[in-house]
């Protein structure tokens, strides 16, 4: 018999949800290419390399310190164009746009690589665009395109400027060129959507906006324009839905911008970073949340909560090695943290390292003998190690600790089935139902057992129907089909297995059951 009640190792995210995020604008992405990891002590350490100090400060959002470091460096090497670009980025991230323009202009006046000059032009184009100086923005964007021919951003920046100046054909051409370099550039799809909308091609605009949202789901303005396109198409239901999303994202952007401004004044304030991080988590922006914790861990390397939450995010996004590192850091800081050992056990089990998993889970129980997830995890690890006696012992302990919980009895039933101890399995499933009359797994497995052994077939059907009524899934529908088949109710059996196939169409055993049911039905019809 197949096991229909697989129970994974439990994982519950800690309530300590605290994170940090600093938005890095694309103009300074280039500035971070050579950055190295930084620990807070370096901010005050005496280092001769002012450039590296500035880069590290930039990475962590200490923009005033970065300005000081780059200015000190430039006093020693006043012809270093790249340092002027970094200085411009530090000013720009403090919203000191006049100072940023001056720094980028200095970079352009010096001999430098095409890349450095291209970055300076690109950032000037962006600043001038923000300021509404579109002619200047266009000129610098053109220069950036010429100097950075393999990078998509200058092209979509140029497209944005063309769009603002009403040059729709030129804008469309620039956006499409950008997509040839980077097919996942959301801003180009957004720009193409705006052009299509302006030209009253609303259905096409909808497609472009939806693609932009697929790639960058947290941009409020895209949802607003999509709502507008739907409204023009008289699709008011979709328009309303998109406006609700827009309002939510607009509030999110205002909230994160408020925290970002506060962090400009207090870049080391952990409480502000925590609140900013919570805003990212609230909206579901997990990618930024991970970035938040990576930076927060550098600023506060002894904060256990940061590593717990970083580990939880890594787990949720299947970065197992990152999660292992995070939880290892937790137990370095607190060797009694039972939850960290639980997660390490789960992670090692996921990697089929069952010996290490068992060790971590036993340690978790030793530090907190009320941690139910660790018991379930350890029992399942023992199952994988083919140590059913040890698994049964753990589940027996759980039935004693949690007498109102049906799940340990269900798992005991499954284990006894694997050991071909049918009577003991039946007893366990019956105990599960006695404990919880809504245990769908217990009804399902008991129905299968009765049907398989030809016992209590009417009750088997009733139990299978009850399991499906409690919670429909393909496996339970398959059990229901089998019980109907066993009592000769072939039309009902066929209907049930077809529902199972609809939910899980690529399951060979369901197709085989359907064939068997249809053959039996055909034989019945052929009888005189």
Q: Residue 291: pLDDT band by 50, 70, 90 thresholds?
A: confident
Q: How far is it, in rounded angstroms, from Cα 207 to Cα 279?
A: 29
- 356-376 CB burial, b ≥16 within 10 A, e <16: ebbbbbebbbebbeebbbbbb
Q: Mean per-residue pLDDT for 369-393?
A: 95
* pLDDT score of 263: 87
DSSP state of 9: P
Secondary element (H or E) of residue 97: helix 97-109
Let me know: does 83 contact 77? Beta carbons within 8 Å: yes
Quote the DSSP letter at residue 10: P
Given a contact cutoff of 8 angstroms between Cβ atoms, the answer to whether 242 and 226 are in contact is: yes
pLDDT band for position 81 (50/70/90)? very high
Let me know: does 330 contact 311? Beta carbons within 8 Å: yes
Percentage, residues of the chain above pLDDT 70 = 90
Sheet strands (E) in 425-517: none
The Cα 155–Cα 448 span in angstroms is 63
Provide the 3-class DSSP secondary structure of residue 114: helix
Beta strands in 465-506 (DSSP E): none
CA-closest candidate to residue 175, choices 199, 146, 145: 145
- How far the first Cα of the chain sits from its last, in Å, is 35
Q: Tell me the average pLDDT of the chain.
A: 89
Does residue 78 sit in helix, strand or coil? coil
pLDDT reported for residue 268: 85
Torsion of CA 40, 341, 287, 284, to 10 degrees: -120
Distance from chain centroid for Cα 324 = 17
Q: How confident is the model at residue 528 (pLDDT cuts 50, 70, 90)?
A: low
* Whole-number pLDDT of residue 523: 85
**Residue (of 499, 480, 483, 445) closest to 7 by Cα position:** 445
Please count the other Cβ atoms lying within 10 Å of the Cβ belonging to residue 311.
Answer: 28
State how far the Cα of 109 lies from the Cα of 423, in Å rounded to an integer: 88
CA triple 217-223-228, angle to 5 deg: 160
pLDDT of res. 330: 97
User: Residue 308 above 70 pLDDT?
Assistant: yes
């Amino acid at each position: 018999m197949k096991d229909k009640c697989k129970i994974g190792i439990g994982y519950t995210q800690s309530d300590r949800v605290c994170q940090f995020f600093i938005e890095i604008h694309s103009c300074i992405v280039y500035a971070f290419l050579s950055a190295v990891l930084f620990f807070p002590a370096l901010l005050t350490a005496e280092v001769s390399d002012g450039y590296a100090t500035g880069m590290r400060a930039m990475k962590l959002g200490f923009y005033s310190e970065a300005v000081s470091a780059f200015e000190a460096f430039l006093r020693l090497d006043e012809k270093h164009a790249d340092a002027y670009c970094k200085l411009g980025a530090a000013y720009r991230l403090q919203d000191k746009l006049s100072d940023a323009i001056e720094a980028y202009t200095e970079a352009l006046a010096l001999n430098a690589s095409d890349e450095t000059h291209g970055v300076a032009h690109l950032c000037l184009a962006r600043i001038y665009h923000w300021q509404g100086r579109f002619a200047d923005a266009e000129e610098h964007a053109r220069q950036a395109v010429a100097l950075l021919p393999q990078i998509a951003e200058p092209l979509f920046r140029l497209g944005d400027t063309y769009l603002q100046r009403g040059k729709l054909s030129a804008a469309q051409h620039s956006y499409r060129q950008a997509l040839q370099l980077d097919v996942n550039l959301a801003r180009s799809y957004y720009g193409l959507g705006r052009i299509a909308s302006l030209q009253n091609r609303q259905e096409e605009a909808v497609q472009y906006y939806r693609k932009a949202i697929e790639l960058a789901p947290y941009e409020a303005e895209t949802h607003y324009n999509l709502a507008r396109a739907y409204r023009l198409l008289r699709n008011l239901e979709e328009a309303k839905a998109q406006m609700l999303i827009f309002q939510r994202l607009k509030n999110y952007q205002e909230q994160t911008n408020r925290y970002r401004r506060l962090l400009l004044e207090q870049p080391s304030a952990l409480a502000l970073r925590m609140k900013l991080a919570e805003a990212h988590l609230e909206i579901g922006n997990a990618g930024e949340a991970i970035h938040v914790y990576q930076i927060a861990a550098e600023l506060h390397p002894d904060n256990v909560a940061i590593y717990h939450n970083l580990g939880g995010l890594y787990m949720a996004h299947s970065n197992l090695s990152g999660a292992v590192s995070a939880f290892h850091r937790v137990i370095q800081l607190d060797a009694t943290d039972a939850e960290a050992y639980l997660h390490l056990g789960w992670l090692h089990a996921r990697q089929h390292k069952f010996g290490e998993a068992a060790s971590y889970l036993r340690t978790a129980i030793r530090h907190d003998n009320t941690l139910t997830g660790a018991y379930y995890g350890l029992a399942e690890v023992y199952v994988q190690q083919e140590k059913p006696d040890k698994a049964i012992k753990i589940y027996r302990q759980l039935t004693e600790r949690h007498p109102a919980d049906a799940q340990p009895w269900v798992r005991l039933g499954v284990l006894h089935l694997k050991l071909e101890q049918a009577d003991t399995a039946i007893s366990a499933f019956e105990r599960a139902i006695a404990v919880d009359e809504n245990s769908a797994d217990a009804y399902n497995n008991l129905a299968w057992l009765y049907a398989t052994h030809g016992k209590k077939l009417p009750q088997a059907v009733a139990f299978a129907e009850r399991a499906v009524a409690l919670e429909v899934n393909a496996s339970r529908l398959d059990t229901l089909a089998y019980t109907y088949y066993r009592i000769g109710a072939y039309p009902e059996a066929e209907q049930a297995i077809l529902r199972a196939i609809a939910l899980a169409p690529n399951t060979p055993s369901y197709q085989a059951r359907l064939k068997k049911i249809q053959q039996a039905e055909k034989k019945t019809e052929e009888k005189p």
